[in-house]
Chain A
């Protein structure tokens, strides 16, 4: 099979007997062996487990009883998801030796669907970053230009899917950590509604913002991956108890009559003109396909980044308190308890994580709580109201995913410059609305550009339908980076 075959192509071939899950898995493992030194997508390759899963899958196909449309699909999983018996680092020294005794719910559901998990992918430490440069372990390179970042924090999974080192993958999107790397790497990144997919076993960064999100080569694969993991989980009190539609079945309905809103605030200063042009051209494609396009306004957009960088660090400062050297992970001995905890955290956390823990601790402190955390929660409500107003008039919003294309390693050393990368993805994170990044062209230098579509709460189907119509009308998915 081609290194960039989609999951549905692979599983169709498995069913017909023209390809075998074992051979395909071996092919991916061989490609990882040959190319991942260049890309740096994986932190851990679970070779033996992957082959065992592929053999089991092959037996099922032979018996004519595959478990699901994902049976035998070789996937890359961000190292933020707990995997029973497999080291789960979250990109941090503090969890370098941590082996969870349990699977995250999405991992368990993927296994139940027959997927083959190739390994755990690189990420910014505790998902804090937009370039994967904050990983404690290695650099991940963008398969389109190895001198550039894949985006982040789920850069490893994005690079793996873009580079043909996995047929699909999963990441987490807290402020854009799946949509942004998807845009940078020229693949699909789909953030469902908050609560649509269980967070159980996802190592928390910011609990009210963390979303499980798939990467895929096309929208049909996206629908299949999402369908396999979506749905209520009794282990996650924030997971939504709502029926999961057959996402794949609804794809072909087109966009005739669909109302597409174009928010003015997403096309202002700071947006790369090439991206501006590509996204406006994509909106024209939707119009040509029968969508009704109209301008909308989301006036609170400019408050998004500031609000996010209060709420997310506040939650993170609490979520990361458990890494104290007492129970698991790194422990650095000290002269007493406080000394041990301090030394452990000083040695175990990288500078970006420390920065955010300090920011968040400050924002929650007595005397500052109302001015920062309290105020941020109010703004979050206003942002939500902005979207509610817009969605009274339109069905889907179309906007750029990122203000610029993939940047060079080390280019955004200033934390604020890095944070501004998430300016267009943060609003959908704060509101929990479903949003997808779809490839919509290339820069003059050959770097991918992402179109972001944002939908209504729990209306992933409409979003997938619009993205599918666009994808089918454009040639972008046919281009792949060459790593040879």
Chain B
């Protein structure tokens, strides 16, 4: 934001996020929701809106929204209902979308985020459950009548969708991006949505307006769409703030409109004007009875909620990790999973050591070999990693050797026991243990002892024999010292 814009105007941002829920089947029929299936291969008469078909609620989808509602500290109503949102469009096979209007499944929630300016709490107006539309594929080829053709793919039609709407209390593009990122983490932690923005599983729309600082009336609102990454969210909003600020400075009127983000041009462009407000003629969906959400149901969902990102970050910090490390582990399911698995295998390991391994060499190995779902990289096993880390910390192997062993384990899955055996017992720092080797070598080489005493330079021979016997695990300098002490003492 330019200084003048920042000082003259206050930015008002509200976000609407649509998240496709990770149910196996659609919202109102049994069709699967697998991403990337051939067009119209996941459809049935119900999601094609054929005459006479009826919707039946997917309870899992309801549970995902309730779980999200609990996670954002929202109010869950005792009774909810669905409404029909009526409008004509070819991607809407029934001519109405089954959505929630009067009684959303979750209302008045909040999500706390960290920004470069410190923590900020985003108030969330509501989260509700609705069905997705079909997808239009616009062809370039002319149809029979000479007009361009558009095709409809109903695979997405009727997929369960959660809409999460914030209050217009977001003030910066960074807050907007951070909110979207934190929401993605939350949805993924709950398992409610895969929330992949590039796949359209999480779609962020921003309502952006400016108003003179010190005023309370809202300025002319512009809706921004087509932001396919978190970076786009931040850039599109920043661009829009600048654009609107310049227009206001120049005395140019702004219009209510929907604008799209062009990632190539790094600019927003007008999609359509919003001259009139749409009348969707909402009314309660007569094909679906109101749904009772009893307290026991909410409680059972609450009980199955996993640890949420914020709580997990707090726990990691309590374990001694830096805020940065904690955020990295929570943000990356691979790293976070590896951290948890290794820690579970050996709870006595210092968390910082595991975090360093996971975010350091672990991340490198992860990129090459890939972490699997359990957070185990490559062919590796968390217990083996834990054993090798412990060997380093115990001093059983040097850091350099230990790192090498970890790389080998992660690379080909060789068990930690075999690696440590092959590496020898490690630097033998215990003099008593070393002396056993020294004495054995001296006893076995009486001729060399005579030579030594005769002043010949054979100390190196003894040291080499000891090093051989300890497979290089002894400290050569200490061994030399001990050999000289022994030979001199016996002389």
Contact = CB atoms under 8 A, between A and B. Distances in A.
B57 A237 contact: yes
Interface residues of A, number: 46
B279 interface: yes
A157 B378 CA distance: 70
B102 to A, nearest CB: 11
A337 B86 contact: no
Contacts of B50: 82, 100-102, 327-328
B96 A365 contact: no
B472 interface: no
A101 B45 contact: yes
Interface string B51-67: 11111110000000000
Nearest to A126: B51
B286 interface: yes
A468 interface: no
B447 interface: no
A89 to B, nearest CB: 10
A234 B30 CA distance: 12
B54 A100 contact: no
Contact of B52 (A203, A238, A337, A369): A203
B456 interface: no
B293 to A, nearest CB: 16
Given A341-B88, A364-B281, A364-B283, A200 B96 contact: no
B49 interface: yes
A208 B95 CA distance: 18
Interface size class of B (residues with CB under 8 A): 20 to 34
A324 B52 contact: no
Contact of B94 (A206, A322, A364): A322
A200 B54 contact: yes
B94 A366 contact: no
Given A337-B90, A364-B86, A203 B51 contact: yes
Given A100-B51, A341-B88, A237 B281 contact: no
Interface string A332-376: 010001100100000000000000000001001110010001000
B145 A333 contact: yes
Given A237-B56, A326-B90, A318 B51 contact: no
B281 A315 contact: no
Contacts, number: 103
B35 to A, nearest CB: 23
Interface string B267-310: 00000000000010111001111000000000000000000000
B54 A235 contact: yes
B337 interface: no
B93 A327 contact: yes
Interface in B37-88: 45, 48-57, 84, 86, 88
A39 interface: no
B81 to A, nearest CB: 12
B51 A90 contact: yes
A30 to B, nearest CB: 31
B52 A318 contact: no
A200 B52 contact: yes
B170 to A, nearest CB: 28
A81 B51 CA distance: 9
B328 interface: no
Nearest to B45: A102
Interface string A228-256: 00000011111000000000000000000
Interface class of chain A by DSSP: loop
B152 interface: yes
A315 B286 contact: yes
Contacts of A203: 51-52
Contacts of A314: 283
A361 B281 contact: yes
A202 interface: yes
Contact of B281 (A90, A320, A326, A365): A365
Interface string A95-116: 1001011101000000000000
Contact of A207 (B86, B88, B279, B286): B286
Contacts of B90: 324, 326, 337
A321 interface: yes
Interface in A158-215: 199-204, 206-208
A132 interface: no
A321 B286 contact: no
A234 B56 contact: yes
Given A207-B286, A237-B56, A327 B48 contact: yes
A143 B48 CA distance: 40
Q: Find the residue from A82, A95, A208, A327 having the highest chain B CB count within 10 A.
A: A327
A88 interface: yes
Q: Find the residue from A318, A320, A328, A361 having the highest chain B CB count within 10 A.
A: A318
Contacts of B93: 322, 326-327
Contact of B88 (A238, A324, A369): A324
Contacts of A361: 281
A341 B95 CA distance: 11
B52 A201 contact: yes
B51 A95 contact: yes
A90 B51 CA distance: 10
Contacts of A321: 86, 88, 94-96
B55 A201 contact: no
Contacts of A234: 56
Interface in B245-274: none
B54 A199 contact: yes
B3 to A, nearest CB: 43
Contact of A365 (B56, B279, B289): B279
A410 to B, nearest CB: 30
Nearest to B95: A321
Q: Find the residue from B51, B90, B95, B289 having the highest chain A CB count within 10 A.
A: B51
B84 A318 contact: yes
Given A100-B45, A315-B286, A364-B281, A82 B57 contact: no
Contacts of A199: 52, 54
Contacts of B88: 321, 324, 338, 341
B76 to A, nearest CB: 21
27 contacts: A100-B51, A102-B50, A102-B53, A199-B54, A200-B53, A203-B52, A204-B51, A207-B286, A207-B287, A208-B286, A236-B56, A237-B55, A237-B289, A315-B283, A317-B281, A318-B86, A318-B95, A318-B96, A322-B93, A324-B90, A324-B95, A326-B93, A338-B88, A341-B88, A364-B86, A366-B279, A366-B281
Q: Which 6 pairs, one residue from A and one from B, show the smallest C-beta to C-beta distance?
A: A321-B95, A364-B281, A207-B286, A208-B286, A201-B52, A203-B51
Given A317-B281, A361-B281, 20 more contacts: A82-B52, A100-B45, A102-B53, A203-B51, A208-B286, A235-B56, A236-B54, A237-B287, A237-B288, A237-B289, A238-B54, A238-B287, A318-B84, A318-B96, A326-B152, A337-B90, A338-B88, A341-B88, A365-B281, A366-B281
